[in-house]
Amino acid sequence: MKKIYDNATEALDGLLSDDMLIAAGGFGLCGIPELLIDAIVASGVKDLTFASNNAGVDGFGLGKLLDTRQIRKMMSSYVGENDEFMRQYLSGELEIEFNPQGTLAERMRAGGCGIPGFYTKTGVGTQVAEGKEHKEFRGETYVLEEGIFADLSIVKAWKADETGNCIFRKTARNFNPPAAMCGKVCVMEVEEIVPVGSLEPDHIHLPGIYVHRLIQGEHEKRIEQRTVRQKEQA
């Protein structure tokens, strides 16, 4: 079983179609699948729905797919960093379904675990719970949220072995594991593919069973908010 592909375009071959639901990993610009996003831009596929915590920034990340009008709907928790997003949203070209961040993550995880719905306290008494089933458990009210079953997952990890066992680095893990789990097919990009046996089995963050196709490449890894402190004077 060959999982490794030469590049993002080949890895996505035969997987893309208009109107599909794609789950994408990343938080802000941290840990986003840059190479796969570029390949989706180049494919020209359109009317996409993305389940992704954020929508990139102007000209980078999912912002590239907004610039080309390939996205019809976003399922996200926070989208404040993107002028083109706001323009399309306010003009009615783009639909947004706001999800509380933890609900979005759990919807992905649940979908990947074969759980079509779960009850959560998050959002009870707010707009996001309107129209959804409520139920009492142990004297408290919970709202039903549905698992996300995506057509495709695009995710990014730090290193993977040739079977797709992978490890993430620091906070670049974020939504990548749940996003990887909830797609019918998962394509992963990594900074380095290493030989089988070179990753410690006890240290695998996401087992290769979730990863169907794998590519290695150079990442820009753009920083969204560069914040520093001054070195104290000697």
Partner 1 sequence: MPWDRNQMAERAAKELEDGMYVNLGIGIPTLVANYVGDKDITLQSENGMLGMGPFPFEGDEDPDLINAGKQTITELRRTAYFDSAQSFGMIRGGKIAAAILGAMEVSEKGDLANWMIPGKLVKGMGGAMDLVAGVGRVIVVMDHTNKHGDSKVLRECTLPLTGKGVVDLIITNLGVLEVGHKGLHILETAPGVTNDDIRAATEGAIV
Which residue number, 67 or 81, has a Cβ lying nearer to partner 1? Answer: 81
Which residue number, 45 or 76, has a Cβ lying nearer to partner 1? Answer: 76
Q: Is 51 in the site for partner 1 (CB under 8 A)?
A: no
CB 197 within 8 A of CB 37: no
| Cα gap 205→23, rounded to integer Å | 18
With H, G, I as helix, E, B as strand and everything else as coil, classify residue 27.
Answer: strand
Q: Is 116 in the site for partner 1 (CB under 8 A)?
A: no
Which residue number, 104 or 154, has a Cβ lying nearer to partner 1? Answer: 104
Angle at the Cα of 71 (from 68 to 72), degrees rounded to 5? 130
Instruction: Give the pairing of strands 117-120 and 140-146.
Output: antiparallel
Distances (CA, A) of 184 to 135, 153, 172, 212, 221: 30, 7, 23, 9, 27
- Tell me the sheet residues that pair with 180: none
Q: Is 49 in the site for partner 1 (CB under 8 A)?
A: no
Which residue number, 177 or 214, has a Cβ lying nearer to partner 1? Answer: 177
Interface pattern 68-97 for partner 1 (x via CB under 8 A): --------xxxxxx----x---x-------
The single residue among 105, 157, 166, 214 that binds partner 1, judged by CB under 8 A, is: 105
Q: Is 174 in the site for partner 1 (CB under 8 A)?
A: yes
- Tell me the sheet residues that pair with 153: 23, 186
Q: How far is the CB of 227 from partner 1 (least distance, A)?
A: 4
Which residue number, 69 or 121, has a Cβ lying nearer to partner 1? Answer: 121
CB 74 within 8 A of CB 99: no
By CB under 8 A, name the binding residues for partner 1: 27-31, 53, 76-81, 86, 90, 98, 100-106, 108-109, 120-128, 158, 168-178, 205, 221-231
